Amino acid sequence: MEVWHIPLDGPDGGGGGPAGEEYPAVWSAWEDLLDDDEKTRARMGVRPGMRRRFVIAHAAARIVIGERLGRAPQAVRFTRGRWGKPRVEDAGQFHFSLSHSGDIALVALAARPVGVDVELARAELDIMRLSRRYFPGNERELVEREGPDAFGRLWTRKEACVKAAGGRLTQGMALAVADAECQTVVRALHGPLPGPWRVADLSLPENYSGAVALLGDGPFCVSRKMWYSIPPVEPDAKGIGRGVK
């Protein structure tokens, strides 16, 4: 199983202003790789950098997926499940998951249903209110003792499981995920998402938390890879391989 780390600050170290500001040509080149739905969602970003980060994350995902499947990034087609989980059309047992937060995106590729999540810690987030509302008792106590790091670890584990199952986030908040091991098996005692899932924490820069989950309890190894931004100004015949390292 592969997890790709995608920096979202771009080759020029930033940029990407609010809606209405001139959009640099380099980002337009990335946006050309997206389908109509993705382009519409990208243009909904109104805060500085939102559109740029969305475009880079989704274009990079297309490049990585296309490279693995032997397709041009523009030729990758998605279908969506009941709760919005995307899947690549005509890809057999190829599964992927995409998450982005702050200036980091993660793309996970696997041979069985997979979910990945990354979260940037936010000072304005009331982690105690959220943990009291959604988490089991022992996890609420853990957040009280250890603060934002514990909250981020628990939250991303839960969301990774939900994404692997293709469910809604609220369906997974009660999952008991507070095992001390970096890779653990999560099972739901009741509820709409029975699992099980094998979950692993991901090592990320300070103030970020991340986790990846595979449906089923079989162990797995994570192959960490880095994607780098090369604007697709003059792609080759298929547009494959740019940004893949």
Rounded Cα gap, residues 119 and 155, in angstroms: 9
Tokens representing 157 are 């584990």
Please report the pLDDT score of residue 82 as a whole number: 84
Please report the pLDDT score of residue 225 as a whole number: 96
Tokens representing 175 are 């999952």
Set out the domains of the chain in order of their start, with CATH numbers.
Answer: 1-86+98-110+220-245 (3.90.470.20), 113-215 (3.90.470.20)
Rounded Cα gap, residues 3 and 106, in angstroms: 7
Please report the pLDDT score of residue 75 as a whole number: 95
Torsion angle, CA of 59/64/67/69, rounded to 10 degrees? -100
SS3 state of residue 223:
strand
Please report the pLDDT score of residue 239 as a whole number: 43
Q: Are strands 114-120 and 2-7 parallel, antiparallel or unpaired?
A: unpaired
Please report the pLDDT score of residue 120 as a whole number: 97
Please report the pLDDT score of residue 181 as a whole number: 82
Please report the pLDDT score of residue 21 as a whole number: 46
Q: What is the pTM of this model?
A: 0.87
Pinpoint the alpha helices (H) of 46-178.
Answer: 50-69, 127-134, 137-146, 148-165
Please report the pLDDT score of residue 192 as a whole number: 85
Dmax (CA) of the chain: 56
Residue type, 133: R
Please report the pLDDT score of residue 188 as a whole number: 87
Fill in the DSSP letter of residue 23: P
Please report the pLDDT score of residue 203 as a whole number: 95
Distance set, CA 169 to CA 38, 68, 172, 245 (Å) = 21, 29, 6, 32
Please report the pLDDT score of residue 40 as a whole number: 92
Report the chain (245 residues): mean pLDDT per 10 consecutive residues. 90 42 69 93 82 93 96 95 90 96 97 97 94 94 96 97 94 91 87 91 96 95 88 46 48
Q: Are strands 86-88 and 223-226 parallel, antiparallel or unpaired?
A: unpaired
